[in-house]
């Protein structure tokens, strides 16, 4: 594919051929595959399929020198030289311009079922996640977390009804497979485990129409938030999955201490949560003063929990000043050295990730 193709178009085309393109960021209807490659986009199906980089076999790249080269190719194995494909993936457009991408497609599973499980409060929902992932004996394709405020924002934005819209939080759990009976067993196991962990009910979306409606709500949260609370700062922290409950608790404490509103949603099954601080009615001066403090505290807590400051959105400019808190000087030097080796005149996305 060429880099400007919208990811959702690739998904649809693969589907028509009974295949799956496994990358599925929530921005699939608007983001391009080139952007996904540059950011190593994650999304909703990382537990089963992995992030974008898992699907990239080869890349045609225009180097800053103007030379055109091809890294990798239509092959599963390649140790002839260095793994430039996966150096390019996630490099945020700082090393070269991707002009063609060779992607891996997989056979499409015959059956998919999504469960929607409301919980009375955030803590109960998030505490259920590690057990669902490790204790049920089933690895779901997706396990998404939405706190009550985010789901209500999406409902109001899309003007839709949602079961238990006043619940404290919801989980979406999706399983897929080729045997109807096996998929049934899996979702029953997960549904029972989700209810045992405090879920109020498990709604089953076992046809495309209901599943699409569910995912539409989930995928609209970021846009809904932008419409309803335009002044906010969405973070993208990622921790070992077992530490997700602690991450949410500590984020709530930080928001409270700094007088900020907060919502949280995201890819709980792979430990990646979009903790989002919202200005709300806070005077601008206080927001400007308190937000950087809250972000620094969030990143410190994340690091202490064994996590990283960005799971899928990248460092860019926004998080550049915090990179040194998670990678040591030796690694920062390597990043600068690689950037210089590719782009000695610093013409591609200068100022992103690191300063030279």
Ligand X SMILES: Cc1cc2nc3c(=O)[nH]c(=O)nc-3n(C[C@H](O)[C@H](O)[C@H](O)COP(=O)(O)OP(=O)(O)OC[C@H]3O[C@@H](n4cnc5c(N)ncnc54)[C@H](O)[C@@H]3O)c2cc1C
Identity of the residue, 100 or 336, whose beta carbon is nearer to ligand X in the bound complex = 100
The Cα 286–Cα 121 span in angstroms is 29
How many residues are given for the chain? 356
Decide: is 349 part of the binding site for ligand X (CB under 6 A). Answer: yes
Cβ partners under 8 Å of residue 329, min gap 6: none
* Sequence-distant (≥ 6) Cβ neighbours of residue 344 within 8 angstroms: 64
Cβ 344 to ligand X, closest distance in Å?
18
* Member of 176, 186, 312, 343 binding ligand X (CB under 6 A): 312
- 39 burial (CB, 10 Å; 0-12 / 13-18 / 19+) is buried
Three-class SS state of 56? strand
Smallest separation, CB 98 to ligand X (Å): 4
Among 11, 21, 22, 41, binds ligand X (CB under 6 A): 41
Binding mask 92-111 for ligand X (x = CB under 6 A): xx---xx-------------
- 43 lies in the binding site for ligand X (CB under 6 A): yes
Give the residue at shortest CB distance from ligand X. Answer: 35
The full DSSP string for 164-195 is: TTTSSEEEEEEEEES-HHHHHHHHHHHHHHHH
Query: Which range of residues in 34-42, 104-112, 133-141, 247-255 is near ligand X by CB under 6 A?
Result: 34-42
Stretch that binds ligand X, among 79-87, 91-99, 170-178, 198-206 (CB under 6 A): 91-99
Indicate whether 42 belongs to the interface with ligand X (CB under 6 A).
yes
Please say which residue, 317 or 334, places its beta carbon nearer to ligand X: 317
Q: Is 27 in the site for ligand X (CB under 6 A)?
A: yes
What tokens does 179 get? 């045997």
Report CA 113 to chain centroid distance, whole Å: 21
Spatial separation of the C-alpha atoms in residues 302 and 156, rounded to whole Å: 31
Burial of 95 (0-12, 13-18, 19+ CB in 10 A): buried
Q: Which span sits near ligand X by CB under 6 A: 36-44, 79-87, 118-126, 136-144?
A: 36-44
Residue 142 touches ligand X, criterion: CB under 6 A: no
How many Cβ atoms are within 10 Å of 4's Cβ, its own excluded? 10
> Near ligand X by CB under 6 A, which window of 30-38, 279-287, 296-304, 335-343?
30-38
Do residues 195 and 133 lie in contact, with contact meaning Cβ atoms separated by under 8 Å?
no
Point out which residues bind ligand X (CB under 6 A): 3, 25-27, 31-32, 34-36, 38-39, 41-43, 92-93, 97-98, 222-223, 312-313, 349
């Amino acid at each position: 594919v060429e880099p400007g193709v919208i990811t959702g178009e690739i998904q649809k085309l693969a589907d028509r051929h009974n295949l799956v393109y496994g990358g599925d960021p929530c921005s699939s209807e608007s983001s391009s595959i080139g952007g996904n490659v540059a950011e190593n986009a994650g999304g909703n199906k990382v537990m089963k399929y992995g992030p974008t980089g898992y699907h990239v076999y080869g890349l045609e790249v225009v180097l800053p020198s103007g030379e055109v080269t091809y890294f990798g190719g239509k092959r599963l194995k390649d140790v002839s030289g260095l793994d430039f494909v996966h150096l390019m993936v996630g490099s945020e457009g700082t090393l070269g311009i991707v002009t063609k991408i060779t992607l891996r497609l997989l056979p499409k599973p015959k059956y998919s079922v999504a469960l929607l499980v409301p919980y009375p409060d955030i803590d109960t929902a998030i505490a259920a996640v590690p057990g669902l992932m490790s204790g049920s004996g089933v690895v779901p394709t997706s396990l998404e977390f939405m706190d009550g405020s985010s789901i209500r924002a999406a409902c109001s934005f899309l003007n839709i009804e949602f079961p238990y819209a006043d619940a404290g939080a919801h989980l979406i759990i999706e399983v897929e497979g080729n045997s109807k009976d096996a998929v049934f067993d899996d979702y029953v196991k997960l549904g029972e485990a989700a209810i045992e962990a405090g879920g109020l009910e498990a709604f089953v979306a076992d046809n495309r129409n209901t599943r699409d409606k569910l995912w539409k709500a989930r995928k609209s949260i970021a846009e809904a938030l932008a419409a309803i609370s335009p002044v906010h700062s969405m973070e993208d922290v990622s921790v070992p999955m077992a530490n997700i409950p602690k991450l949410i608790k500590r984020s709530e404490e930080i928001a409270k201490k700094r007088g900020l509103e907060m919502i949280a949603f995201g890819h709980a099954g792979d430990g990646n949560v979009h903790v989002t601080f919202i200005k709300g009615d806070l005077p601008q001066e206080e927001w400007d003063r308190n937000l950087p403090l809250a972000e620094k505290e969030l990143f410190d807590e994340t690091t202490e929990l064994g996590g990283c400051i960005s799971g899928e959105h990248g460092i860019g400019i926004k998080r550049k000043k915090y990179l040194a808190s998670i990678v040591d000087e030796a690694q920062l030097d390597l990043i600068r050295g690689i950037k210089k080796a590719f782009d000695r005149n610093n013409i591609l996305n200068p100022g992103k990730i690191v300063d030279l």
